[in-house]
Chain A
Amino acid sequence: MKKYAVLLACTFLLCWSVPAWAVQAHGEAEGPVVHLMAHLLLLVALLLLLYVLHTRPPDTGLSWRSLKLSLLFFLLWDMDHLFIHWFAGDMYADIRDSGVNLVGDYFVGPRTVLNFFYYLGRFDHLLCVPALWFFTSALRDFCEAIEKRRQSRAGQVF
């Protein structure tokens, strides 16, 4: 029931969302808060999963290490997004839009650490792409391991 309630709430918020300043635009008030809450929820879930895999690993090997790395990158990516969303409203920086010419766009504002980290944080794909890569790699290794095991069993039978 809780799951459906959350899904229903997200859908409801999605329908009434309005543009907002962030890595990706959300609604005026509820949108960023809900999105921030979703990132927090994801942070908790990922921490829990990492803790479980670390304390009670189902197995050992390269594939499981890849999975852990994937979760770690997802976690960093989530933290990056939390940071970006959290401090987006406190910045005095701006984007100089050059219209159709994308090369002419610049991030302008006071030279502060916050602004610098915000700029760096915009490269979030440098975290989520490796995360998904390790995740895919882990799944592929799991598949291969299972198939090898099956083949070895079949070899034993025959």
Chain B
Amino acid sequence: MEDAFNLPLFPVYLVDYLGATVMVILSFCALIFAKRLTRLAPKNILWEYFFWFSVVMVVFSISRGVGHLLPYVFRLAGLPELWDALDPYSGGLNTIALCGVAILTLHYHSTAILIDRAKSDALSLEIANDRLRMAHADLSRLNQTLEQQVEERTLDLRLSEEKFRGFFEGSKDMIYFCDAAGRLCDINESGLRLLGVERQQDIVGQPIAEFFLDRERGMQYRTLLVADGQVKDFEAEFVGREDGPLYLMITASAITDRAGATQGYQGIAKDLTHFKKMMEQLVHSEKMTSVGQLAAGVAHEINTPLGIILGYAQLLEEDFEEQTEVHETLGIIEKQAKICRRIVADLLNFSRQTLEHNKLYADLNQCLEEVLAIVNHTLNMDHIFIHRCLAENLPRTCFDNERMRQVFVNLLTNAHHAIGSEGIIGVWSRWYEESGQIEIIIGDSGSGIPPDQLGRIFDPFYTTKGVGKGTGLGLSVSFGIIQDHNGRIEVKSPPLEPELVALDMHTTFHIFLPIIAEGQEKEQ
């Protein structure tokens, strides 16, 4: 018996009895709470599952309760056979309840997966919807501010366009744009003015190379621009205004698209014509000053021995009787010495170093009239007519009357020699209030001066006249005298003014003198 169990079953019955009773109570409590949950959150699948789980648990508890309690009751009542009839139904109900719980759980699991998927899809849809809403909000905002943005951009563009248009139109330099073939597309007002063109359409479409005075220089410009994509400080002479060629300094570059292909060219050309002329005048002035200093030095050194030669020649002349060979020879020496002295005097006059200034406040027209009165007879003999056009209210100015007469005589003599016989000499006097200058023009209808000689006519001893007819000091002396008056003298051959050309003037000398008010001469 020691190897056999003999365990009491009453504890089992007791636990079964109490447990079954508690199970029934708890299952109903669970059902009540589950029902409450479904009411609180009707659409929750978990609560729904718990509700049906609780329902099945009630059935299960009852079936178990019946299965555990009734056998004892029937046994105690002495009717155990009754339980044999009920037992299969109690067990079947118990099995169904188990299956029900299992099926419900599996069903919940499947439903939960489906719900998770649906939630995931819904979340994706919600995210997409949110993005769509944000995009719509952005679009709406953009739509609302589009007009304002367009206005702002348009204003910016207009300001930018105005700025660059102002720079383009207001620039004193020539700004131009060409297409890829080098034909002008656009050019500013300064460019038109420099090139002497009135309307832009007259020039648009023309190759810019055609405006180069030297075609080879134009080809060089084009080659450099195509090869390097830019040219910088490229100096060239352009065919320009009526008063001569333009001297331009060009800086240009190629316009390329994003791919690097050349779409055209843009450039700025600076007009250096005036600067170049000024430089030439400065160089000429410096040259004349140097020559004058040299001449003054030579003249000063020669003047003393020349005076001695002339003095001794005159003394010796008194020692010999007239009509003798020696007397005549001494006369020739005296005459040539006097010629030399005059040349020396001219040189000194040109160099302005020795003569004392005798500047007075006077009328230039009067001075001019006096000179014309002197030379008028000589000119009439050669049938040369004098055209006078003197300003009526020419301001008085301060000048050396004698030396100014010498200038006028030199110029009129030159004009006479240029004409020879039968012609016109024109004399004009003008004044410019804004620049404070008086201009005296003396022109002739002679043959004119070749361009290659224009730059040399004021050089000392330069003359185109025959031997013995001129010393080549007339114009250089005049140049020196005018400079001594703080003025300038220019020559135009042919003249530029239509009025002068109309009078058949081929060469004109322009003397510019400053208007000096009375009382200012000492300061000057």
B93, A14: Cβ atoms under 8 Å?
yes
Separation in Å of the B113 CB from the closest CB of chain A? 9
Chain A interface residue count: which class? 35 or more
Interface members, chain A 107-130 (any B CB < 8 Å) = 107-111, 115-116, 119, 122-126, 128-129
Q: Are B20 and A125 in contact (CB under 8 A)?
A: yes
State which residues 21-44 of B face A: CB under 8 Å: 22-23, 26-27, 29-30, 33-34, 36-37, 40-41
Which chain A positions have C-beta within 8 A of B462?
none
For B9, B22, B57, B64, which residue has the most chain A Cβ atoms within 10 angstroms? B9
Give the interface residue-count category, chain B.
35 or more
Chain B residue with Cβ nearest A42: B102
Interface residues of B in 96-136 (CB under 8 A from A): 96, 98-109, 112, 116
Residue pair B5, A26 in contact (C-beta under 8 Å): no
Task: Report chain A residues within 8 Å CB of B388.
Answer: none
From B26, B37, B95, contact of A14 by CB (8 A):
B95
- Contact between A25 and B26, CB atoms less than 8 A apart: no
List the one stretch of B82-90, B271-279, B307-315 in contact with chain A: B82-90
Measured CA separation A56–B116 after assembly (Å): 11
Contacts A35-B94, A107-B9, A108-B4 given; indicate if A132 touches B109 (C-beta within 8 A): no
Q: Which B residues are CB-close (under 8 A) to A48?
A: 105-106, 109
Q: Is the interface of A mostly helix, strand, loop or mixed?
A: helix
A139 touches B33 (CB 8 A): yes
Q: Which B residues are CB-close (under 8 A) to A123? A: 11-12, 15
Check B64–A24 contact: CB distance below 8 A. Answer: yes
Give Cα distance in the complex from A17 to B29, angstroms: 31
Q: Shortest Cβ distance from B18 into chain A, in angstroms?
A: 7
* Chain B residues in 8 Å Cβ range of A31: 88, 91-92, 95
State A142–B51 Cα separation when bound (angstroms). Answer: 13
Q: Which residues of B contact A128 (CB under 8 A)?
A: 19, 23
B98 in contact with A102 (CB, 8 Å): no
Closest to B53 in A: A135
Does A15 belong to the interface (CB within 8 Å)?
Answer: yes
Residues of chain A from 1 to 39 with CB closer than 8 A to chain B in the complex: 3, 6-7, 10-11, 13-15, 17-19, 24-27, 31, 34-35, 38-39
Q: Is B467 an interface residue (CB 8 A)?
A: no
A14 contacts B89, C-beta separation under 8 Å: yes
- Is the pair A132, B16 in contact by a Cβ cutoff of 8 Å? no
- Neighbour of B75 across the interface among A100, A107, A142, CB < 8 A: A100
Find B5's partner among A11, A38, A39, A93 (CB 8 Å cutoff): A93
Q: A125, B16: Cβ atoms under 8 Å? A: yes
Contact A126 B76 (CB under 8 A): no
B8 close to A (CB within 8 Å): yes
Known: A105-B10, A135-B54, A136-B26. 8 other contacts (CB 8 A): A19-B87, A24-B90, A42-B101, A102-B9, A108-B5, A110-B4, A125-B16, A142-B50
